Structure 1
Amino acid sequence: MAIDYGTVRIGIAISDPLGVVAQGLETIKVKKHDPEAAVNRIVEIVEMYDIGTVVVGLPRRTDNRIGPSEMNARALVSTLEERLTIPVIMQDERFTSVIANRILRNSTVKAKDKRSVVDQVAAEVILRDYLEQLRRG
């Protein structure tokens, strides 16, 4: 399972049991008054789909300095490591949102629906990259 973390929306993607295909599952809306609800939903998904590894996209800056988005993603990783008994790893996600927007631009998804799925598509890209790295060894 991969997570494209944001402070407003969190994209979730999962793969088939063989790790061949990645597909978007859902977009979790983060409630400002209850951000813990998003973490609870992630834990529910892990349990529901019997996930073996969680890959969290790490939004690195192009100058390699740590920015607020990366700090938030790292905080999520720490929280998930406390709540889950499976590996939680970080995957560089630079440019995944750009790639996701390109994919959606070339898709049949209606413009009004793109905002709600772009985070899922970004999570798919993160998961595909991770699975490809595993295949390459």
Structure 2
Amino acid sequence: MKYLGIDYGRVRVGTAVSDEEGKIAFPKSVLKNTGVSALADAMARLAGAEAALEIVLGLPRAVPGMDASLRDEIQHLADIIKKQYQIPVSFQDEFFTTRIAEEHSAKNADASAAALILQSFLDRQSKVL
């Protein structure tokens, strides 16, 4: 099964795709965040173009004292994707993925962060199966 991974940001959104077997994640592209509805539409189109059957969204950890609005935005985006486009959405902890990606590839950090998020999800799935 093929997956689409997303590293959500208020300005840029990194994307990644898995191989057909759902074992390896690859950075794909960076989208400009022009609003949640437009972003949901772009993600649904990308999922269709890539034949991805599920979208994996990176979700920041809930930390006491931290602004929860980013988590709320991501969960709202997931709700739109599920309701309007009927695409299954899963969440994966994105703890430090952008920082790790920047250390390895500043040029394409957002897409690389999406690949790290997706790879973590795929690794977790393979342990469950």
| Fold similarity call, TM over 0.5 | yes
Which residue of the partner structure matches residue 12 of structure 2? 9
Q: Matched residues, percent identical? A: 30
Which residue of the partner structure matches residue 134 of structure 1? 125
CA RMSD in angstroms, aligned pairs only: 1.8
Distance in 2, matches of 1:72 and 1:94, equals: 17
Say if 1:54 and 1:87, in contact at 8 Å, map to a contact too.
yes
Partner amino acid, structure 1, of 2:26 = Q
Give the greater-gyration-radius structure (CA): 1
Say if 1:101 and 1:118, in contact at 8 Å, map to a contact too.
yes
Distance in 2, matches of 1:84 and 1:55, equals: 15
Secondary structure of the 2:6 match is strand
- TM-score w.r.t. the length of structure 1 is 0.82
Which residue of the partner structure matches residue 47 of structure 1? 48
Which has the larger displacement, 2-11 or 79-88?
79-88
1:69-126 CA deviation, whole Å, 9 max, x = no partner? 111111111111112323101111111111111222xxxxxx6xx2xx2110110000
Distance in 1, matches of 2:41 and 2:86, equals: 14
Say if 2:81 and 2:87, in contact at 8 Å, map to a contact too.
no
Which residue of the partner structure matches residue 114 of structure 2? 123
**Unpaired stretches in structure 1, ≥5 consecutive residues:** 105-110
Q: What is the total number of aligned residue pairs between the two structures?
A: 125
Distance in 2, matches of 1:64 and 1:52, equals: 36
Distance in 2, matches of 1:54 and 1:36, equals: 16
